[in-house]
Amino acid sequence: MGMIGGGQGAFIGAVHRMAAALDGKIELVCGAFSSNPEKSKASGEEFFLDPSRVYPDFNTMIETEAKLPADVRMDFVSIVTPNHVHYPPAMKAIEHGFHVVCDKPLCFDLEESYKLRDAVKASGLIFGLTHNYTGYPMVKEAKDMIQKGKLGKIRKVVVEYSQGWLSSFLESTDQKQAAWRTDPKRSGIAGAMGDIGTHAENLAEYITGSRIVAMCADISTVVKGRLLDDDGNVLIRLDNGARGILFASQIAAGEENNLRIKIYGELAGLEWSQMYPNDLEVKWADKPKQILRTGVGPLSEAAQAHTRIPAGHPEGYIEAFANIYRNVAECISARDEGREVEEIYTDYPSIDDGVRGMEFIYKVIESGQSDAKWVDL
């Protein structure tokens, strides 16, 4: 693996490195870790990399790596930069024959996402997107239950992602994450809805297997002086006829990373929370409530394949990320070795999920700014 971004002082880069290394299938061999060449060099030293493979910028890195022998050069690149630096290195990597794993949202704007999707489809290369919450075992279990009809026809979806870290005007300080995530020049047209609303959208569509086809949004910027949205409430309609509610807020004081989803069918409802990821609560219409636990009992093949440790040992954020990296690595290895990959390992967010997220961002902001309100997705 090569990495672009994620150098010293970056939060998400360290998460990606830990997750990629967890299964021993991926080795970090090169990187352009910062737009500052000296900082990139210092980061490479910290990661114990060969100095000759620590690059001053992503263009130099990709072009140089492409000239190395096949058994030496990186196999794929992980892009962990702010949103406005997703498209250029991703497109460059695809053009030079490298697979890509990219942080979300996919691109800075919708036009870039369409161009990148076309390039990925034409190349046939593997492209993974780190909507990491789909990697949790009990999320896999919830998806499997719905696929098998255990809840009956889905009628209602309620999904929320609430945080409180931007309750104040934090971007006026030296807080790096707040600075770029609230800056339209680096984040794009959306704040909270692009940063965490897309996670809620992706989780709802992933678990239900249905697509949001229309929405009515109320989008707000609560903190005075902020340039992008920090709170939003959205009514949604799904293609199977279900109705739902999606809200995302970064001004919910006291909240940490409270991603939670409730899905109700004809026969039962289920609830999963990222704060308590080992539990999946199933509420049956005609029998007592059931709590399914990671690693306990006859869970689905998908849940078992993405469970790493014995029951009772909490699995969380890093492991969910690692499941995406492990699946991508398995698909790349299978391709290199000319063998079929087990279908269960093809389950990771793709370029299509990335485009879907960008379309959601644009439509939810359009609806929030419109008097008509309901817009088609």
Beta strands in the chain, from DSSP E residues, in sequence order: 2-4, 30-32, 76-79, 99-102, 127-129, 154-162, 212-220, 231-238, 243-249, 258-265, 268-273, 279-284, 290-293, 375-376
Q: Assess whether 188 and 241 both reside in one domain.
A: yes
Predicted local distance difference test score (pLDDT) of residue 376? 87
Q: Assess whether 108 and 139 both reside in one domain.
A: no
Q: Assess whether 139 and 99 both reside in one domain.
A: no
Predicted local distance difference test score (pLDDT) of residue 373? 78
Low-confidence ranges of the chain (pLDDT < 50): none
- Give dist(CA 272, CA 282) in Å, integer: 9
Read off φ and ψ for residue 92, nearest 5 degrees. -60, -45
Q: Which domain holds residue 17?
A: 2-129
Q: Is residue 334 part of a domain?
A: no
Last residue within a domain, chosen from 95, 129, 163: 129
Predicted local distance difference test score (pLDDT) of residue 374? 85
Q: Can you spell out the DSSP letters for 124-154?
A: T--EEE--GGGGSHHHHHHHHHHHTTTT-SE
- Give dist(CA 183, CA 12) in Å, integer: 18
Q: Assess whether 197 and 244 both reside in one domain.
A: yes
Contact by Cβ (8 Å): 154, 240? yes
- Give dist(CA 269, CA 153) in Å, integer: 11
Kindly state the tokens that stand for 197: 């609303």
Residue 363's CATH number = 3.30.360.10
Q: Is residue 70 part of a domain?
A: yes
Last residue within a domain, chosen from 110, 129, 148: 129
Q: Is residue 333 part of a domain?
A: no
Predicted local distance difference test score (pLDDT) of residue 244? 98
Q: Assess whether 115 and 139 both reside in one domain.
A: no
Buried b (16+ CB within 10 A) or exposed e, 143-177: bbbbeeeebeebbebbbbbbbbbbbeebbeeeeeb
Q: Is residue 342 part of a domain?
A: no
Predicted local distance difference test score (pLDDT) of residue 314? 84
Considering the entire predicted model, what is its pTM?
0.94
The number of distinct structural domains making up the chain is: 2
Q: Assess whether 6 and 94 both reside in one domain.
A: yes
Label the pairing between strands 258-265 and 30-32. Answer: unpaired
Q: What is the pLDDT of residues 241-295, one digit of tens each?
A: 999 999 999 999 999 999 999 999 999 999 999 999 999 999 999 999 999 999 9
Predicted local distance difference test score (pLDDT) of residue 178? 95
Q: Is residue 341 part of a domain?
A: no
Q: Assess whether 74 and 155 both reside in one domain.
A: no
Q: What is the DSSP letter of 84?
A: G
Last residue within a domain, chosen from 100, 129, 158: 129
